[in-house]
Structure 1
Amino acid sequence: MTFKDLGLSPALVKAVEEKGYTKPSPIQEKAIPHILEGKDILASAQTGTGKTAGFTLPVLQHLAETKHPKYRPLRALVLTPTRELAAQVYDNVREYSKYVNIKSAVVFGGVNAKPQIATLRSGVDILVATPGRLLDLHSQKAVSFNRIDVLILDEADRMLDMGFARDLNKLISFMPAKRQNLMFSATFSADIKKLASGILNNPVSVEAEPQNSTAKKVTHKVYQVDKGKKTEFTIKLIKDGNWSQVLIFTRTKHGANKLTEKLIKAGISAAAIHGNKSQGARTKALRNFKENTIKALVATDIAARGLDIPLLPHVINFELPNVPEDYVHRIGRTGRAGAAGEAISLVCSEETEYQSEIEKLLKEKLNSTVVEGFEPTDTAAPKRAATQSKGSFGKKKRPTNGGASQGDRPKKKPHFKGNKPAGATSGRGRTGAPKKKRF
């Protein structure tokens, strides 16, 4: 199977091949033909398997084939949960559309809105955006959704985790009822299925990998480490292994800053990335990390999805996430596109319950090792985050995400409202009552 066999135009095939891809990934092979046919899609695929190209390529083809010779209204909208993911998707859109006459743009918070407004008013075919900034721009009448043909929700489950349900409600209420809807995500919870039922119309479900699976070439290692010795052990791992690139996850912004400072004092070049950092600082830190100017990037879960770091060899969970699904997304930064990777977790006594929940999710036992000199001596009992209830596994409430910042996330996470508008349809060329309700 080739990209040409999927029905893509020569211009798009040429752009894809120039990026070094000749054979579509499983999710691309399954999703692209259905999207080209105008069907709604509910797609689940392991992170790093090419979801972005899976929706970008067929949408670009539709836009190129149906483009008006004079007017350039916004016709395709990609919503993402974080600025970093929005920037990455936009880069892919630009690369894949280099041989077609399609104009694209990206908007997100944390930067001056005036250049974004100017770009939108000059005409854009496809827009990549975070919900918060997009709503602000819509309220300023800088963007119209009246001509939207295709709506794409990328990392939809993460958007709900970050409290974007209300913003999604508002944005969708401004769009035509007749449109194609594509929902891509690494996992699908009950909330995601409820969201999908309110947006998608007779969707085709595609799944390239089992839900919550991890890359086959990722090696899992767990070290039982005393809580007070985690920093020292992390420094030992990096120096003894002579690592040149490692992504380290902490649960809090303060913890990320503190660890970064100690790494630098130990002679390891490092930077932190989280929601309290300016967009300029976040962009610089990520660029330096990709270019190997710094060895360690310390991040909160804002970096757990969407960051495409080619051939990243090591990920360290300095602290285990208290939502087990986030473990999958964190370690998904390594072992991408078939490459090998190593996922290391440092577990103190307080986190043993988190480890058990992760193992239950993965259906895999993570063998633990104790290293001489770093033996766990703390005796604190396992504890759940204060924001989670004590219900059975799988029913706990997700904690407030520590990585999102103003402009990326609303303050509250509201419940869903109602169902799909009566008579609403999706797919190009269909008809239906355009009465709007919030899902």
Structure 2
Amino acid sequence: MDFGALGLPRPLVQALSRQGITSPFEIQRATVPDALAGRDVLGRGQTGSGKTLAFGLPVLARVSTGQRARPQHPRALILVPTRELAMQVNDALMPLGKAVGVFLKTAVGGVPYDRQIDALRRGVEIVVATPGRLADLIARGVCRLDDVEVTVLDEADQMADMGFLPEVTELLARTPADAQRLLFSATLDGDVDALVKRFMTDPVTHSTAPPTATVTTMDHHMLLIPPHDKFAVTASIAARDGRTMLFARTQLGVDRLVEQLAAVGVRAGGLHGGKTQRMRTRTLAEFKEGRTNVLVATDVAARGIHVDGVTLVLHIDPPKDPKDYLHRAGRTARAGESGAVATLVLPKQRRTTLAMMERAGVAPEQTRVRVGDQALADLVGAREPSGVPVREEPAAPRRSGGPRRFGDRDSRGGYGDRGGSRYDDRRQGGRDDRPGREHRFGDRPARRFDDRAGGDRQWGERASGGQSFGERRFDDRPQGERRFGDRPQGERRFGDRPQGERRFGDRPQGERRFGDRPQGERRFDDRPQGERRFGDRGERAGESFGDRRGGFRSDGRGRDDRYQRDDRRGFGGRPPARTS
């Protein structure tokens, strides 16, 4: 059976064929027809079984028919638990979307809002988002879910485990009640039952594999080690040939292990939620492209991340949850490839780890090993690391035209990104090798100071006659040329006044000067008869200001008089309270 038999549009089938994808996987054969028919689908499949295309192809087929999305109103929504998984889903579906004229955009945390907001305002058909960032965009008023026709929940059980269930519930409540909903995960357990019962209508369930890691192409090993050999065994396994993923429980453990491996000669990248999105993206890209063969990660990388060619998964710290073991182990032996899973177990961890792996459906091969044992080389390809510390590689040169920082050098050692020349690198003719007409400080054109074409003037030469600066004297002036201090006839100098012009101090007859007073005008100390000055005695004869104990009062009474009068009243001038 090919994809055309599943009912997919011809452009999608051709786009898949150009990528070399011609035969659908089992989960795709089971779910795509029902999803194309518009039914709600619950899909459970083994990790690496092709769930991304199982929900991505029906979504692309549905939104490709019809008109373009309105600004800020996507037509389809894909919710995933982690940023890496969102980018992986977007990378897998974007080439197919271009084939049918469908635009996709990721909305994840850790990156600026600007591009996401601009894309939503232009209008995108499909948004691949993490719940937290999508809720932020909705709160900012730049995204509305009124036009969503189909919603996909990928790795729904992990979103419930990570505490995203309230946000996912609120987001689903904003979508139309009659919209189609697809739920895909490697495991379907009781954590997602509330979502299924509330938001899915008569869903059809397709389960292509039990929730265990019993894959015929995957080998499971339990390596029993003494505590003091844990890092040495880890380093020898990390130094093996082939792409290897190491899982630690904490972010601090990841960072410490990366540094320790680099000190013994093993280059490794660290991936966890405490790093910036740019660092996470760069580390994952280096691992996928083969520049780094070892990736040390927390469980953030265990869900849905697909990297081709991972031949070994090593649990530095055994997981406590069987689901975590399944998802970690699922990074190898994907889509029919072979791989191995090894777990380092200390003596005190043996019993609990065996119980966990039994619940996961795994019966591992138990082996006691020490550093340098041949069994390590036979089981997982371990070898002794080089012991030469790994040095950090210099940053890649910046591309021309991109943003530059002060002090950046390009691949040829020059400052900036203008072709790689330094300040003193000059071409023949005295000009450095930069494109266009860009000039730096100190640049000069190919002509020298004394290289002049005919008729060119040097500094100080006259325009006529070609005379030099020193040929003309200071007093050589054309007729009628003004010198400094010359005045045309009749021009006024400073101090010259026309006849009758007033000088400073001249006054017309009768003009008042400062201090002159008209007749009868009062001075400051003039007082009419009987006017009272400040300090004059009051009504009572012989009593001046300060003669009274109570101070000055306008009514002539001292403060003592007031207090004696007020003895009949209570505090504050109120009448005394009655006693009966």
Offset at residue 218 of structure 1 (A):
1.0
- The alignment partner of 1:267 has SS state of coil
Q: Retained in 2: the 8 A contact 1:49–1:337?
A: yes
Q: Does 1:83 align with 2:83?
A: yes
Q: Which moves more between the two structures, 218-227 or 31-40?
A: 218-227
Q: Which has the higher contact order (CA 8 A, sep 6+)?
A: 1
1:173 aligned partner: 173
- Give the counterpart letter for 1:173 in structure 2: A
Query: Residue 229 of structure 1 contacts residue 374 of structure 1 at CA under 8 Å; is this kept in 2?
Result: no
Q: Structure 1 residue 234: deviation in Å?
A: 1.3
Q: 2:357 aligns with which of 350, 356, 359?
A: 359
Q: Deviations over 1:364-411 (max 9, x none)?
A: 421210114589xxxxxxxxxxxxxxxxxxxxxxxxxxxxxxxxxxxx
Cα gap change, 1:139 to 1:202, in 2 (>3 Å): same
Distance 1:294 1:254, change over 3 A: same
Match of 1:210 in 2: 210
**Aligned-partner SS, 2:310:** coil
**Matched residue, 2:285:** 287
- The structure where helix makes up a greater share of residues is 1
Matched with 1:44 is 44
After superposition, the Cα gap between the structure-2 partners of 1:69 and 1:355, relative to the gap in structure 1 and judged at 3 Å, is closer
- What is aligned with 2:307? 309
1:134 matched residue in structure 2: 134
Contact kept? 2:146, 2:175, Cα under 8 Å: yes
Instruction: Work out whether residues 323 and 360 of structure 2, in 8 Å CA contact, stay in contact via their aligned partners in 1.
Output: no
Q: Which runs of 5+ in 2 are unaligned?
A: 374-580
Matches within 5 A, 1:67-82: 67-68=66-67, 71=70, 73-82=73-82
Question: Structure 1 pair 364/172, CA: closer, same or farther in 2 (3 Å)?
Answer: closer
Alpha-carbon distance in structure 2 between the residues aligned to 1:343 and 1:70: 45
Q: Give me the whole-angstrom Cα distance separating, in 2, the residues matched to 1:16 and 1:311.
A: 21
Taking the aligned partners of 1:25 and 1:229, their CA distance within structure 2 comes to 43
Shift of 1:238: 3.2
Pairing of 1:14-413 with structure 2 (within 5 A): 14-65=14-65, 67-68=66-67, 71=70, 73-239=73-239, 242-373=240-371
Structure 1 runs not aligned, ≥5 long:
376-439
The one-character-per-residue Cα deviations of 1:171-227 (angstroms, maximum 9, x if unpaired) are 122111110000000001111233212221100000111123443211111100123
Corresponding position of 2:569:
none
Counterpart amino acid of 1:19? Answer: Q
With over 3 angstroms needed to count, the CA separation of the structure-2 counterparts of 1:372 and 1:268, relative to structure 1, is closer
Determine if contact 1:244/1:292 at 8 Å carries over to the other structure.
Answer: no
C-alpha distance in structure 1 between counterparts of 2:220 and 2:69, whole Å: 54
Greater displacement, 286-295 / 30-39: 286-295
Partners of 2:146 and 2:176 within 8 A in 1: yes
1:158 Cα deviation (Å)? 0.5
Are the counterparts in 2 of residues 222 and 345 from structure 1 also a CA contact under 8 Å?
yes
Q: Which residue of 1 aligns with 2:394?
A: none
Bigger CA radius of gyration: 2
Give the Å deviation of 1:116.
Answer: 0.7
Matched position secondary structure for 1:4: helix
| Structure 2 match to 1:397 | none
Secondary structure, in 3 states, of the residue corresponding to 1:313? strand
Equivalent pair of 1:320/1:354 in contact (CA under 8 Å) = no
Residue identity in the other structure for 1:151 = T
CA distance in 2, matches of 1:152, 1:108: 16
Q: What SS class does the counterpart of residue 320 from structure 1 fall into?
A: coil
Rounded Cα–Cα distance in structure 1 between residues aligned with 2:366 and 2:68: 62
Cα distance between partner residues in 2 of 1:160 and 1:70: 30
CA distance in 1, matches of 2:166, 2:248: 28
Query: Contact 1:44–1:207 at 8 Å: present in 2 too?
Result: yes
Closer/same/farther in 2, CA of residues 48 and 374 from structure 1, 3 Å limit = same
Runs of 4+ in 1 over 4 A off after TM superposition: 69-72
**How many Å apart are 1:342 and its aligned residue?**
1.1
Contact 1:335–1:341 under 8 Å retained in 2: yes
Q: 1:258 to 1:3 in 2, by over 3 A?
A: same
TM-score by length of 2: 0.62
**Deviation at 1:71?**
4.3
- 1:91 Cα deviation (Å)? 0.8
Distance 1:109 1:362 in 2: 32
| 3-state secondary structure, aligned to 1:280 | helix
Q: Matched residue of 2:23: which SS?
A: coil
Q: 2:223 and 2:349 mapped to 1: Cα distance?
A: 12
Opposite residue 159 of structure 1, the aligned amino acid is M
CA 1:223–1:143 in structure 2 vs 1: closer, same or farther (change >3 Å)?
same
- Deviation track 1:322-360 (CA, whole Å, cap 9, x = no partner) reads 111110100100001111111111111342244223332
Give secondary structure in 2 for the equivalent of 1:212.
coil
Which residue is equivalent to 1:391? none
Deviation sequence 1:128-157 (CA, Å, 0-9, x none): 000000000000011010011101000000
Contact persistence 1:27–1:50 (CA under 8 A) = yes
1:237 shift after superposition: 2.0
Secondary structure class of the residue paired with 1:78: strand
* Alignment partners' CA distance in 1, 2:13 and 2:177: 32
3-state SS of the aligned residue for 2:127?
strand
Distance in 2 between residues matched to 1:69 and 1:294, nearest whole Å: 42
Q: Is the 8 A contact 2:213 2:362 kept in 1?
A: no
Cα separation, 2, equivalents of 1:319 and 1:287: 25
Q: Secondary structure at the match of 2:286?
A: helix
Q: Which deviates further from its counterpart, 76-85 or 91-100?
A: 91-100
Partner SS state of residue 3, structure 2: coil
Matching residue of 1:419? none
Contact 1:325 1:358 survives alignment (8 Å):
no
Indicate conservation of the 8 Å contact 1:215/1:336, yes or no.
no
Q: TM-score normalized by structure 1?
A: 0.82
**Contact 1:39–1:203 (Cα < 8 Å) also in 2:** yes
Over the matched positions of the two proteins, sequence identity in percent amounts to 37
For structure 1, which segment, 214-223 or 115-124, has the greater mean C-alpha deviation from structure 2 after superposition? Answer: 214-223
* Equivalent residue, structure 1, for 2:499: none
Contact 2:312–2:340 at 8 Å: present in 1 too?
A: yes
Residue of structure 1 equivalent to 2:515? none
